[in-house]
Chains A and B, each alone.
Chain A
Amino acid sequence: MDSKDQYINDISEIKNIMERSSRFISLSGLSGVFAGLYALVGAWLVFDRMYSTEGFIYSRAFKYTYSSDIVFMLSVAIGVLVLAIATGIFFTTRKARKEERKIWDNTTKRLLVNLLIPLITGGIICLILLDKNQYLMVPPATLVFYGLGLVNASHHTFRDIRYLGITQIALGLIAFMYLGYGLLFWAIGFGIMHIIYGASMYFKYEK
């Protein structure tokens, strides 16, 4: 027997076990694609209601802002979030079952805790901003904190999530500089980036 092959085999076995035991790899890329689609539909609904279509394609000027509009935007955002999470759970459970892995183990718990710490912090900050009528700050803040959550959680899953997180943080920071274009950056970050990364992960790991 070729002993060199044996040693290479040992090393790859070690790597494989370390990965499997410490990373959550049932995350399905399709959940990203669908989350992105929902976000684009949501952004379009808000755009359609809130922005003047006269003049520029994307006009900064709100036609009017009523408190009912704020409620409308929040409802759309929450609707997008709930749908995205539900679809994510569906595809990820399906992938886990196909690969005969447990969906709920220590790696899942660590992934969620690390994702939720920045995410809940960001959520509370957004509520404070809303309370102080700083509506324009909310979309950039959601992008930045979501990005931080992803980077923080990425140690426990695919590497791609780290780059998605960094992309969201960068978009959020740019959006802070161009307040008023929040919806556009929001659509790029939560919509287009989710679709791109989700599709790339799907073809990389699930095809």
Chain B
Amino acid sequence: MKNPIEKLDKAFENRVRLGVMSALMANEFMDFNSLKELLNVTDGNLASHLKALENAEYISMQKEFIGRKPNTKYKATKVGRNAFGKHLEALEELIKNNN
């Protein structure tokens, strides 16, 4: 049998990335500032992790303007949702088998 640890998604090893993905699973959209407040991270830190998730095509980004202020919204893609589901299953399996 394949070692379940290998089923864990490397993209979610990082806390911030795991947090971003969790928030985007529970919400249709989240903007940059809400994510920043929710996860309590700095702009630069969050931006780099968002970029990584975007490159993996797990999330998509949409820029818009509210009045004159730019507002960036993020959304989980189908690929991202599936990957997150598999990651959760792997975590559950690891917890069960470790008893």
Whether chains A and B associate is: yes
Q: How many residues of A contact B (CB 8 A)?
A: 17
Closest-CB distance, A36 to chain B (whole angstroms): 31
Q: Mark B4-17, 1 if CB is under 8 A from A, else 0.
A: 00000000000100
Instruction: Let me know if A13 is at the binding interface, CB within 8 A.
Output: yes
In contact, A18 and B92 (Cβ under 8 angstroms): no
Q: Which of B25-33, B44-52, B63-71 contacts A (4 or more CB under 8 A)?
A: B25-33
Instruction: Let me know if A206 is at the binding interface, CB within 8 A.
Output: no
Identify which of residues 1-45 in chain A touch chain B, using a CB-to-CB cut-off of 8 Å: 3-4, 7-8, 10-11, 13-14, 17-22
B27 CB contacts on chain A under 8 angstroms: 21-22, 106
Instruction: Let me know if B61 is at the binding interface, CB within 8 A.
Output: no
Q: Mark B39-77, 1 if CB is under 8 A from A, else 0.
A: 100000000000000000000000000000000000000
In contact, B18 and A21 (Cβ under 8 angstroms): no
Known: A21-B23, A106-B27. A4 touches B98 (CB 8 A): yes
In contact, B38 and A17 (Cβ under 8 angstroms): yes
What's the dominant secondary structure at chain B's contact region? helix
In the bound assembly, the distance between CA atoms of A18 and B23 in angstroms comes to: 5
A14 CB contacts on chain B under 8 angstroms: 18, 22, 88
Q: How many residues of B contact A (CB 8 A)?
A: 19
In contact, A18 and B26 (Cβ under 8 angstroms): yes
Closest-CB distance, B26 to chain A (whole angstroms): 4
In the bound assembly, the distance between CA atoms of A106 and B37 in angstroms comes to: 13
Closest-CB distance, B82 to chain A (whole angstroms): 16
In the bound assembly, the distance between CA atoms of A93 and B59 in angstroms comes to: 33
Instruction: Let me know if B95 is at the binding interface, CB within 8 A.
Output: yes
B38 CB contacts on chain A under 8 angstroms: 17, 20-21
In contact, B26 and A13 (Cβ under 8 angstroms): no
In contact, B19 and A17 (Cβ under 8 angstroms): yes
In contact, A21 and B30 (Cβ under 8 angstroms): yes
**Given A10-B91, A17-B39, A102-B37, 15 other A-B contacts at CB below 8 A?**
A4-B98, A7-B95, A7-B98, A10-B18, A11-B88, A11-B95, A13-B22, A18-B23, A20-B38, A21-B22, A21-B30, A21-B38, A22-B27, A105-B34, A106-B27
Give A residues with C-beta under 8 Å from B. 3-4, 7-8, 10-11, 13-14, 17-22, 102, 105-106
